[in-house]
Amino acid sequence: MPVSDHDLTQAWKQVLTLSKLQPGQSVTVLTSAATHPQTMRTALLAASSMGAIVNRLDLPPVNAEKALSRDSLAYLGTTPLTGNPAAIAALKASDLVLDLMTLLFSPEQHEILATGTKILLAVEPPEVLVRLVPTEADRTRVRAATARLSRAREMHVVSDAGTDLRCALGEFPAISEYGFVDEPGRWDHWPSGFVLTWPNEGGTNGRIVLDRGDILLPMKSYLQAPIDVTVENGYVTSIDGELDAELLADYMASFNDPEAYAMSHIGWGLQPRARWSTLAMYDREATIGMDARAYEGNFLCSFGPNNEAGGSRTTACHIDIPVRHCTVRLDGETVVERGRVMDGGAPVQHAFDYRNDGA
């Protein structure tokens, strides 16, 4: 269903309140050609109504000659900020950047965050944003999972489909994504609701067997037949299966980069309001698939870079794969059992009342 400007403005006000926006602070709304106009105008309105000093920085898109799709995550690393010191200076001077463009996996983003500027990414369709407005309960649940993951030294993932993967942990931090930025220098993504980390370099071995119904991103496709992925010493060494496997293999090969085959982040979804089935409702160019990444109980595994966690490995290729029905164990303790999160669950919580004029 379409969303009214009033409802989306109220959603923005709640997110900005959770992000501790104060009157007189500087907010820069970062936009580009693909920015949704309703998301942009309501972000500007919400921040202004809360007493912020609001700017808009609009930058031209890049990477069209390199990317195989229009998805903002189809080619990483180079952004409109690359080689653009004037734009970087404006963002560094802001208390909060609302990224409606996508700066993920870029050195410029790290440079801006290091100054204490907060960055909130929001590029999903307005109706997805409204349905998945973050809450304090999201933060509490995700942070508890993050604390548990931070203590682990091995993640072992198995499934009835045949997955049997062991990942050594401890070299990189565990990361919370709960949908708002409440600390200086914090990055987050609205919508989200999951925990993740990166395996130790060269420390992942085993098989990931993707089954019918698992999702490939940024392809935004549900698998119709299994794919058997072998990982040795942190790198994919074989991708076996039928057409879906051939499509995945060809996409990764197109980057001509051995780092495209490295293990990237691993974790699990914790958002009960996100749904596995939502991707089937959307045109591929309308969404980047955050429901798929965040839905409760998925094992989210990825291939590609680790520079977001402070690692040195960069590549333009990044594959996210939310896998169903997996059991995830940390040092032998089960935290997800066949797709069911073992933390006692969380009630489905509607984030705001559209009839309330307050945040």
| Residue among 299, 294, 269, 268 nearest 279 (CA) | 294
The CA-based angle 145-167-102, given to 5 degrees, is 65
Mean pLDDT over 72-77 rounds to 77
- In this structure, are 185 and 86 located in the same domain? no
- Strand-pairing partners, residue 354, are none
298 part of a folded domain: yes
- In this structure, are 301 and 207 located in the same domain? yes
Task: Give residue 132's pLDDT band: very low, low, confident or very high (50, 70, 90).
Answer: very high
pLDDT of residue 21 exceeding 90: yes
pLDDT of residue 325: 98
**pLDDT-wise least confident of 22-36, 86-100, 301-315:** 301-315
Q: Final residue of a domain: which of 83, 116, 131?
A: 131
Tell me whether strands 164-168 and 154-159 are parallel, antiparallel or unpaired. antiparallel
Q: CA 222 to CA 277: how far, in whole Å?
A: 10
pLDDT of residue 346: 61
- In this structure, are 154 and 266 located in the same domain? yes
311 part of a folded domain: yes
218 upstream amide cis, omega within 30 of 0: yes
Q: CA 160 to CA 341: how far, in whole Å?
A: 17
pLDDT of residue 22: 98
User: Could you list the residue range(s) of the whole structural domain that residue 309 is in?
Assistant: 136-341
Q: CA 3 to CA 42: how far, in whole Å?
A: 11
Mean pLDDT over 87-103 rounds to 97
- In this structure, are 310 and 165 located in the same domain? yes
350 part of a folded domain: no
User: How many percent of the chain have pLDDT more than 70?
Assistant: 96
Mean pLDDT over 2-14 rounds to 97
346 part of a folded domain: no
260 phi and psi angles, rounded to 5 deg: -60, -25
Task: Give residue 64's pLDDT band: very low, low, confident or very high (50, 70, 90).
Answer: confident
Mean pLDDT over 58-87 rounds to 85
Each residue's pLDDT tens digit, 165-181 = 999 999 999 999 999 99
Mean pLDDT over 59-81 rounds to 82
**Residue 160 CA to chain centroid, in angstroms?**
26
pLDDT of residue 309: 78
355 part of a folded domain: no
- In this structure, are 11 and 119 located in the same domain? yes
pLDDT of residue 50: 98
Each residue's pLDDT tens digit, 187-220 = 999 999 999 999 999 999 999 999 999 999 999 9
User: Counting Cβ atoms within 10 Å, is residue 84 exposed (0-12), middle (13-18) or buried (19+)?
Assistant: middle
358 part of a folded domain: no
- In this structure, are 121 and 142 located in the same domain? no
- In this structure, are 236 and 100 located in the same domain? no
- In this structure, are 289 and 172 located in the same domain? yes
Structure tokens at 272: 């009960």
| Residue among 303, 141, 309 nearest 230 (CA) | 303
171 part of a folded domain: yes
139 phi and psi angles, rounded to 5 deg: -60, -45
- In this structure, are 225 and 109 located in the same domain? no
pLDDT of residue 61: 87
Task: Give residue 73's pLDDT band: very low, low, confident or very high (50, 70, 90).
Answer: confident
pLDDT of residue 354 exceeding 70: no
pLDDT of residue 34: 92
Each residue's pLDDT tens digit, 217-263 = 999 999 999 999 999 999 999 999 999 999 999 999 999 999 999 99
Q: CA 97 to CA 52: how far, in whole Å?
A: 12
What is the CATH number for 41? 3.40.50.980
pTM (two decimals) = 0.93
User: Counting Cβ atoms within 10 Å, is residue 4 exposed (0-12), middle (13-18) or buried (19+)?
Assistant: middle
Listed in sequence order, the DSSP H helices in 55-186 are 85-92, 107-113, 126-131, 136-151
Task: Give residue 109's pLDDT band: very low, low, confident or very high (50, 70, 90).
Answer: very high
pLDDT of residue 356: 42
- In this structure, are 51 and 66 located in the same domain? yes
Q: Final residue of a domain: which of 74, 109, 131?
A: 131
pLDDT of residue 357: 41
CB 305 within 8 A of CB 298: no
282 part of a folded domain: yes
State the Rg of the chain over Cα.
Answer: 19
pLDDT of residue 359: 36
Each residue's pLDDT tens digit, 272-300 = 999 999 999 999 889 999 999 999 999 99
Q: CA 172 to CA 328: how far, in whole Å?
A: 18
Q: CA 134 to CA 180: how far, in whole Å?
A: 7
| Residue among 218, 236, 216, 217 nearest 226 (CA) | 216
- In this structure, are 90 and 114 located in the same domain? yes
More confident: 24 or 66: 24
CB 283 within 8 A of CB 357: no
In one-letter notation, the amino acid at residue 308 is E
CB 181 within 8 A of CB 173: no
pLDDT of residue 273: 97
Q: How far apart are the first and last CA of the chain?
A: 22
For the chain, the domain total comes to 2
- In this structure, are 308 and 337 located in the same domain? yes
**Those residues with Cβ within 8 angstroms of residue 294's Cβ, 6 or more apart along the chain or in another chain:** 132, 177, 191, 192, 193, 194, 269, 270, 271, 274
User: How many percent of the chain have pLDDT more than 90?
Assistant: 85
pLDDT of residue 312: 81
The mean pLDDT of the chain is 93
